[in-house]
């Protein structure tokens, strides 16, 4: 059985994951309208991944005897200044999510809820990858610099195949 305090915190994380999905969806829509097919495809996939993270939490809460709450979501921004802003916002957002996950892990240790602690380790590893991916994309954008046009066109094509290997993935 899950404690009420951990159930509450997990529901808050569930809401944060849902908001992440919405944010990525808004960014994907903006990129699509701006003609960035590769970036929009990348962000649509990220949105779906965040939704999957939310569902994983929802099912876990219910399986542990808690009650998962489907959250009401605030409208995310719909316009972005440029590609650099989009990915800077993503990195900042993922760092915030990492902090939330770390706080959750801390609480599970304080309450000696090792089952939830173990479950959250997947999220800890996932956040390492999420932040590394955002940094990798920002590094590519820095290489382009203020050059627009062909540099962003090539970036848009390149991002369709971008991935990072986490230290946890290496043998």
Q: Assess if residue 170 is contained within a domain.
A: no
Q: Assess if residue 169 is contained within a domain.
A: no
What residues make up the domain containing 139? 4-163
The contacts of residue 165 (CB under 8 Å, 6+ apart) are: none
Q: Assess if residue 46 is contained within a domain.
A: yes
Distances from the Cα of 106 to the Cαs of 11, 23, 132, in angstroms? 16, 26, 23
Based on the structure, what is the number of domains in the chain? Answer: 1
Q: Assess if residue 44 is contained within a domain.
A: yes
Q: Assess if residue 110 is contained within a domain.
A: yes
pLDDT values of the chain reduced to their tens digit, one per residue, 171 residues: 899 999 999 999 999 999 999 999 999 999 999 999 999 999 999 999 999 999 999 999 999 999 999 999 999 999 999 999 999 999 999 999 999 999 999 999 999 999 999 999 999 999 999 999 999 999 888 888 755 656 676 676 677 676 645 455 554
| CATH number of domain containing 15 | 1.20.1260.10
Model pTM?
0.87
Q: Assess if residue 82 is contained within a domain.
A: yes
Binding residues for Fe cation: 17, 50, 53, 94, 127
Q: Assess if residue 80 is contained within a domain.
A: yes
Rounded to the nearest 10 degrees, what angle do helices 83-110 and 4-33 cross at? 170
Binding residues: 17, 50, 53, 94, 127
């Amino acid at each position: 059985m899950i404690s009420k305090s951990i159930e509450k915190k997990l529901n808050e994380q569930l809401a944060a994951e849902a908001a992440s999905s919405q944010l990525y969806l808004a960014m994907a829509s903006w990129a699509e309208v701006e003609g960035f097919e590769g970036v929009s495809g990348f962000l649509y996939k990220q949105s779906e991944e965040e939704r999957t993270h939310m569902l994983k939490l929802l099912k876990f809460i219910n399986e542990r005897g808690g009650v998962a709450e489907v959250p009401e979501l605030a409208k995310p921004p719909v316009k972005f200044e440029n590609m650099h802003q989009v990915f800077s916002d993503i990195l900042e957002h993922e760092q915030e999510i990492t902090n939330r996950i770390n706080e959750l892990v801390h609480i599970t240790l304080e309450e000696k809820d090792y089952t939830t602690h173990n479950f959250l380790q997947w999220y800890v590893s996932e956040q390492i990858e999420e932040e590394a991916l955002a940094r990798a994309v920002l590094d590519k954008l820095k290489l382009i610099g203020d050059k627009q046009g062909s540099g962003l066109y090539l970036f848009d094509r390149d991002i369709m195949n971008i991935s990072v290997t986490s230290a946890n993935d290496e043998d």
